[in-house]
Amino acid sequence: MRAIGLIVLSTVIHSGCVTEAPADLAQGYEEVDAITVVDAPSPEPGTFAPQNRGQVEHGKYLVELLACGSCHTNGALAGEPDVGHPLAGSRTGIAFTTPLDNKRPGVVYPPNITPEKETGIGDWSDGQIARAIRSGIGRHVNRRITTMPWQGYAKLNEDDIAAIVSYLRSVKPIRHVVPEAVEPGHVATSPFVYFGVYRSAD
């Protein structure tokens, strides 16, 4: 059975309002629940020194404020978050090219950002995590991930970045593999969204 694409057809970003999709563009899609805000999980006991509690708690606050879990938690992009596995990556992807021009858009899948070593960021350096937050560049790639809203995080100060890194290192490590990115023109085998949520009815 082929994957069902999730596509949002009409978000007006510059005005901060959402408009309805024209009927001809929405044909073949059904509306589903929108992105869900996911609470940041509590730090695991014993994962940080008592004197660092304030830094870790500040990092938790920032991760929740920046809504990291809304992309990096499985199902949240479709309104059905797996709250038992927060921040462990999403098997629902985000199209980075428009499906309105090409029914096979490029898709990335938000990665696991728990400290699990094989499928998460457990083996990343602090600098690699900071670079991913500030510039949207992953551990082994030199191009930016266009769906990562790094522009909004680029001017976080050093204390805020250090707090986020400390917090991410303190959460429960969860083993969870997400699908590989899909290049434009190739078939996505897992669902995806594009600026909002309409589900393909095909």
Using one digit for the tens of pLDDT, what is the confidence trace for 69-91?
Answer: 999 999 998 888 999 999 999 99
**What confidence tier does 99 reach under pLDDT thresholds 50, 70, 90?**
confident
For residue 108, the surrounding DSSP H or E stretch is: strand 107-108
Q: Is the Cβ–Cβ distance between 137 and 111 less than 8 Å?
A: no
Specify the higher pLDDT residue, 12 or 125.
125
Residue 3 lies in a domain: no
Structure tokens at 190: 């897992």
Residue 2 lies in a domain: no
**Number of separate domains in the chain:** 1
Residues of the domain holding 86: 11-200
Residue 120 lies in a domain: yes
The mean predicted confidence, pLDDT, of the chain is 82
**What confidence tier does 22 reach under pLDDT thresholds 50, 70, 90?**
very low
Check residue 67 and give left, alpha or beta (phi > 0: left; psi -120 to 50: alpha). left
Specify the higher pLDDT residue, 3 or 91.
91
Q: Considering the entire predicted model, what is its pTM?
A: 0.81
Residue 100 lies in a domain: yes
Arithmetic mean of pLDDT, 89-104? 86
Residue 140 lies in a domain: yes
**What confidence tier does 178 reach under pLDDT thresholds 50, 70, 90?**
very high
Specify the higher pLDDT residue, 190 or 139.
190
Q: Is the Cβ–Cβ distance between 90 and 76 less than 8 Å?
A: yes
Residue 56 lies in a domain: yes
Chain Cα centroid distance, residue 50: 30
* Helices 126-135, 158-170: crossing angle, 10 deg rounding: 120
Residue 5 lies in a domain: no
Residue 87 lies in a domain: yes
